[in-house]
Amino acid sequence: MSARRTTAVAIAAVAFLAAAVVAGVLVGPAGLPAGEVVQAFAAKVPFLGVRSPLGPTESTIVFDLRLPRVALGALVGAMLAVAGGAYQGVFRNPLADPYLLGIAAGAGFGATLVIAYGPAGSSTSMLLPAVAFAGGAGSVVVTYLVGRGTTSLILAGVTVAAFFTALETFIQQQRSESIRDIYAWLLGQLETSGWTEVAIVAPYALVAVVTLIAHRRLLDVLRLGDDEAAALGVDVGRVRLAVIVAATLGTAAAVAVSGLIGFVGIIVPHAIRLLVGGSYRVVLPLSIVVGAGFLVFADLLARTVLSPSELPIGVVTAFFGAPFFAVVLRTTRLVGT
């Protein structure tokens, strides 16, 4: 793929993310004038001498509700997309997604436990992300202990996911009064209480993204096959473990605060691969940018289409993601990793 085309796609990706962030901050059910919101941001810049036209309530909506929600959406979207791309590289399968090794089922089981049996009120909102994170990460640890090699890891992931899903279903049947809350979490949501959720995800996402970006060239070598990569001096086992751990860490943190949001980790890396080719030196960085913008736009639709009610964001991503992927599968061959 030519450098000129790659540069053009990169510029378009940055513009897409910028447009998503601006729209996410300016648009909402409260209907604040865009000009006043922009002026309020200018008032935050030192030495400009601009006064904010927003009152206390409007300022709270912009800076304590919309802005952290946009930031959380960008973080979660970026993490799911880059983790999906990394999984596709390490397993040499463009259909792989961040939930391949059982993170979704483990996190869902942890969240179900807290919602069904946890303390009521604010204690639940504080406990749920921690238990969901532990469930997601723990399920992948079990998968890795059971599986050996690429194929057996995938099969182990399916087995572990089925087990945790069965436990989750059993709890739902025992505590039917909690089913509405459980399904609300399972379908994905980006409701925030301020910057707390952003602070939870950011450190894990930073470690995961830095690690995955550092291994992107080695993922290109793994495309040749394990034997060929080993002949070139690559420690295949170490690379695979590092990538899986990093992708799992970031995905578990994202899922802990957002619930289960599907399709982002499949369609974003695959769409980029169709545009710029299969090199992970390009796919992973662009997945971060496009994934962030995609989820911010999806969340904007989720909170405005049925305002004042909200759609689960997982419904929005599935609405766009499923037809897109079906068209891709129908009209093109999968681009190999």
Tokens matching residue 14? 């940055």
Tokens matching residue 249? 């860490």
How many angstroms separate the CA atoms of 266 and 104, rounded? 14
Tell me what pLDDT residue 192 has.
66
Average confidence (pLDDT) per 10 residues, the chain, 337 residues: 86 96 88 84 80 85 90 95 93 84 90 84 70 91 82 87 92 84 84 80 94 94 87 89 92 90 90 89 96 95 84 89 76 52
As a 3-state breakdown, the chain gives helix, strand, coil percent values, each rounded to 5, of 75, 0, 25
What's this model's pTM, rounded to 2 decimal places?
A: 0.90
Counting every residue written for the chain, the total comes to 337
Helix (H, G, I), strand (E, B) or coil at 251: helix
Helix (H, G, I), strand (E, B) or coil at 334: coil
How far, in Å, are 72, 156, 157 from residue 147 at the CA level? 33, 5, 8
Residue 307, Cβ neighbours under 10 Å: how many? 12
Answer for the pair 268, 81: CB distance below 8 angstroms, yes or no.
yes
H helices of 45-119, where? 56-60, 67-90, 103-117
Answer for the pair 54, 32: CB distance below 8 angstroms, yes or no.
yes
Domains of the chain and CATH, by start:
3-95+191-331 (1.10.3470.10)
How many angstroms separate the CA atoms of 321 and 268, rounded? 9
> Which 8-state DSSP code applies to residue 66?
I
One-letter amino acid at 90 equals V
Closest CA to 188 of 127, 269, 254, 109: 254
Closest CA to 283 of 301, 295, 271, 294: 271
Only one residue has tokens 């599968």, namely 329
Tell me what pLDDT residue 124 has.
58
Answer for the pair 98, 87: CB distance below 8 angstroms, yes or no.
yes
Tell me what pLDDT residue 337 has.
46
> Which 8-state DSSP code applies to residue 262?
-
Answer for the pair 136, 255: CB distance below 8 angstroms, yes or no.
yes
Tell me what pLDDT residue 335 has.
47
Answer for the pair 95, 46: CB distance below 8 angstroms, yes or no.
no
